[in-house]
């Protein structure tokens, strides 16, 4: 009885504490299941004290019989008093301490708890992990905790804006910078950029004198590339939190939470409802670590075909690129909407489409984007008046798929967000990474290639000498491209 009650109140998610809580006698008008479970505990404890005159026993038994069925005679056993003496232990309220809990849909992992503890004694903590490992979720949770304590929150993406940090009054400031040195990839910065970042942090720490906490999130592959440039003072190993490391219990809770917003919620008859976590955990064992397990679980819940595809777990980017190439053939409208949002990074609904959107597709309209947001929430996420791709892994894969699709690549060169091009278009010798593209593809039209190089050079502030294309040669190249 003690074990059963302890399991019920600690692990049955559909059983909540009664109105007055566990350990207190429920009110007479409370006939809920939780209240009757508490009454059974009280009845048992009274039995252990040799009290048998309990007025509400029949009421409890009647309601439990209605819920679960009456006990048959074979469910009762007879024995002597000696056999029962060992069982007559009162039921105490036992709260089991879990490795992790869920607060407002966030699984509070040991990594999150470690970061909170570390921030008590240190003024800077760095969360390192693969794409999709849950860094942003962890940082948002920690930020909210400091907000509740009255700290002023400041959030930056990729780089710091020192002007936004400055205030006349010295108050407690909690500074977050997610995707440090790049949302998608590395090598869009230099050693000067890193030392400049360190200078800003050092300056703010000296200015605030104990009133500043800094929480940084950086992708593992970016972190590795930064270290190649030399020692980085802010990356003290004592302040690092490895977000990738999750135990089985934590992944189980992440699985349960992500299923609540997955495809099966919209289709209760879906076959994926019968998939158990043991199967998911076995599948995750094939992950090579380039992406985090949480994003894989999320993709399983949203796109069940990826769960069935062994290659997706082993090489997520490659599988997604092939997926988007097929989409370009069979669902051209959705592909164009996703690609357009990848180009602009954030689609602002109240500002309409960019003037060049027709170059990507004449069928691309505000209505087509609206329909795709409603029909394909597994790809798109809506935030008030904006629409974005659900995850940066989709951005990377769409970019690579666009790189290999000539008609889309032409639009990408002219109109894609330049920071995306800078981060995801790298020479092979400069950055050999699964997330990038060699620059330029060997089959690229020479004028398009030149335009891409010119955009990159201009963004970096470098001089660019436009090559000369003889008219006859250019016409031949153009005609051959059409034949292809």
**DSSP string covering 446-470:** HHHHHHHHHHHHHHHT----PPP--
- CA–CA distances in Å: residue 186 to residues 54, 120, 227, 263: 71, 31, 11, 33
Confidence class for position 472, pLDDT limits 50, 70, 90: very low
Question: Are 321 and 367 found together in one domain?
Answer: yes
Q: How far apart are CA 431 and CA 183, in angstroms?
A: 16
Question: Are 269 and 389 found together in one domain?
Answer: no
Q: 95-99, 220-224, 382-386, 399-403: lowest mean pLDDT where?
A: 95-99
Most confident among 194-208, 231-245, 382-396, 452-466 (mean pLDDT): 382-396
Q: What CATH number does residue 139 fall under?
A: 3.40.50.300
259 assigned to some structural domain: yes
What is the predicted pLDDT for the residue at 276? 94
Question: Are 105 and 216 found together in one domain?
Answer: yes
- Of 242, 266, 281, the last residue of a domain is 242
Asked if 294 and 129 touch (Cβ cutoff 8 Å), the reply is: no
- Of 242, 276, 291, the last residue of a domain is 242
Q: How far apart are CA 276 and CA 324, in angstroms?
A: 28
CA-based nearest residue to 307, from 261, 268, 255? 255
How is 256-320 classified by DSSP, letter by letter?
HHHHTTSGGGT-TT-GGGG--HHHHHHHHTT--SSB-HHHHHHHHHH-HHHHH-HHHHH-HHHHH
What is the predicted pLDDT for the residue at 482? 46
Asked if 123 and 213 touch (Cβ cutoff 8 Å), the reply is: yes
What is the predicted pLDDT for the residue at 88? 67
Total Cβ atoms within 10 A of residue 431: 18
- Of 188, 219, 242, the last residue of a domain is 242
Tell me the per-residue pLDDT of 253-271, one tens digit each, with 9 for 90 and over.
999 999 998 999 989 899 9
Asked if 412 and 398 touch (Cβ cutoff 8 Å), the reply is: no
Angle (nearest 5°) at CA 203 between 197 and 206: 140
**How many separate domains does the chain show?**
4
Q: What is the mean pLDDT of residues 109-126?
A: 94
Question: Are 294 and 327 found together in one domain?
Answer: no
Question: Are 75 and 151 found together in one domain?
Answer: no
Report residue 278 CA to chain centroid gap.
21
Parent domain of 234: 101-242
157 assigned to some structural domain: yes
Question: Are 22 and 105 found together in one domain?
Answer: no
115 assigned to some structural domain: yes
- CA–CA distances in Å: residue 412 to residues 75, 183, 209, 247, 398: 71, 18, 46, 41, 11
Phi, psi of 314 (to 5 degrees): -80, -40
Name the percent of the chain lying above pLDDT 70: 89
Residue of 479 and 422 predicted with greater confidence: 422
5 Rama sector, left if φ>0, alpha if ψ -120 to 50, beta otherwise: alpha
409 pLDDT higher than 90: yes
How is 164-192 classified by DSSP, letter by letter?
HH--SS---EEEEEESTT-SS-S-SS-HH
151 assigned to some structural domain: yes
Asked if 183 and 203 touch (Cβ cutoff 8 Å), the reply is: no
CA-based nearest residue to 389, from 399, 404, 378, 403? 378
Tell me the per-residue pLDDT of 418-461, one tens digit each, with 9 for 90 and over.
999 998 988 777 776 778 887 877 778 888 889 998 998 888 78
- Cis omega before residue 323 (within 30°)? no
What is the predicted pLDDT for the residue at 479? 47
Q: What is the mean pLDDT of the chain?
A: 86
In sequence order, the 6+-apart residues with CB closer than 8 A to the CB of 256 are none
CA-based nearest residue to 93, from 23, 172, 145? 23
221 assigned to some structural domain: yes
What is the predicted pLDDT for the residue at 84? 54
474 pLDDT higher than 50: no
Q: How far apart are CA 289 and CA 378, in angstroms?
A: 23
Question: Are 155 and 255 found together in one domain?
Answer: no
Asked if 404 and 325 touch (Cβ cutoff 8 Å), the reply is: yes
What is the predicted pLDDT for the residue at 116? 95
Phi, psi of 343 (to 5 degrees): -60, -45
- CA–CA distances in Å: residue 282 to residues 79, 273, 293, 299, 461: 46, 17, 12, 16, 49
265 assigned to some structural domain: yes
Question: Are 196 and 212 found together in one domain?
Answer: yes
Confidence class for position 206, pLDDT limits 50, 70, 90: confident
Question: Are 186 and 155 found together in one domain?
Answer: yes
Question: Are 280 and 375 found together in one domain?
Answer: no
80 pLDDT higher than 60: no
pTM of the model: 0.78
In sequence order, the 6+-apart residues with CB closer than 8 A to the CB of 288 are 314, 315
Q: 49-53, 135-139, 141-145, 395-399: lowest mean pLDDT where?
A: 49-53
307 assigned to some structural domain: yes
Residue of 192 and 137 predicted with greater confidence: 137
Question: Are 221 and 327 found together in one domain?
Answer: no
Question: Are 283 and 332 found together in one domain?
Answer: no
484 assigned to some structural domain: no
Angle (nearest 5°) at CA 319 between 314 and 323: 160
Residue of 320 and 230 predicted with greater confidence: 320
In sequence order, the 6+-apart residues with CB closer than 8 A to the CB of 166 are none
Q: How far apart are CA 307 and CA 300, in angstroms?
A: 5
């Amino acid at each position: 009885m003690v074990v059963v009650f302890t399991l019920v109140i600690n692990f049955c998610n559909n059983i909540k504490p009664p109105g007055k809580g566990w350990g207190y006698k429920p009110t007479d008008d409370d006939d809920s299941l939780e209240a009757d479970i508490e009454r059974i505990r009280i009845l048992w404890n009274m039995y252990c004290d040799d009290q048998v005159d309990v007025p509400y026993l029949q009421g409890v038994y009647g309601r439990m019989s209605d819920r679960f069925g009456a006990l048959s005679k074979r469910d009762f056993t007879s024995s002597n008093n000696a056999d029962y003496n060992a069982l007559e232990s009162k039921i105490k309220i036992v709260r089991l301490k879990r490795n992790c809990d869920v607060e407002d849909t966030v699984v509070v992992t040991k990594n999150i708890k470690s970061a909170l503890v570390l921030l008590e004694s240190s003024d800077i903590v760095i969360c390192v992990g693969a794409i999709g490992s849950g860094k942003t979720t962890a940082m948002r949770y920690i930020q909210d905790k400091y907000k509740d304590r009255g700290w002023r929150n400041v959030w930056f993406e990729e780089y710091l804006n020192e002007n936004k940090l400055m205030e006349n009054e010295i108050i407690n400031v909690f500074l977050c910078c997610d995707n440090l040195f790049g949302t998608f990839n590395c090598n869009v910065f230099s050693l000067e950029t890193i030392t400049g970042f360190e200078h800003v942090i050092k300056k703010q720490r000296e200015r605030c004198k104990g009133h500043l906490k800094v929480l940084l999130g950086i992708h593992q592959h970016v972190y590795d590339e930064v270290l190649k440039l030399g020692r980085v003072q802010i990356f003290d190993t004592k302040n690092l939190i490895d977000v990738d490391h999750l135990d089985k219990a934590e992944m189980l809770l992440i699985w349960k939470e992500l299923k609540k917003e997955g495809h099966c919620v919209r289709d209760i008859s879906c076959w994926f409802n019968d998939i158990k976590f043991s199967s998911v955990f076995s599948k995750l064992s094939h992950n090579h670590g380039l992406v985090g397990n949480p994003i894989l679980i999320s993709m399983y819940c949203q796109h069940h075909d990826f769960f069935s595809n062994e290659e997706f777990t082993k090489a997520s980017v490659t599988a997604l690129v092939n997926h988007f190439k097929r989409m370009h053939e069979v669902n051209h409208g959705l592909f164009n909407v996703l690609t357009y949002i990848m180009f602009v990074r954030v689609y602002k609904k109240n500002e309409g489409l960019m003037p060049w959107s027709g170059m990507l597709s004449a069928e691309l309209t505000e209505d087509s984007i609206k329909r795709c947001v409603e029909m394909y929430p597994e790809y798109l996420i809506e935030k008030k008046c904006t629409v974005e791709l659900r995850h940066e892994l989709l951005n990377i894969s769409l970019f690579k798929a666009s790189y290999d699709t000539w008609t889309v690549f032409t639009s990408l060169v002219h109109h894609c967000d330049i920071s995306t091009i800078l981060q995801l278009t790298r020479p092979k010798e400069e950055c050999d990474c699964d997330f990038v593209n060699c620059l330029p593809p060997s089959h690229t039209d020479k004028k398009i290639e030149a335009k891409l190089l010119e955009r990159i050079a201009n963004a970096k502030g470098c001089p660019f000498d436009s090559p000369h294309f003889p008219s006859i040669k250019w016409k031949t190249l153009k005609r051959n491209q059409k034949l292809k």
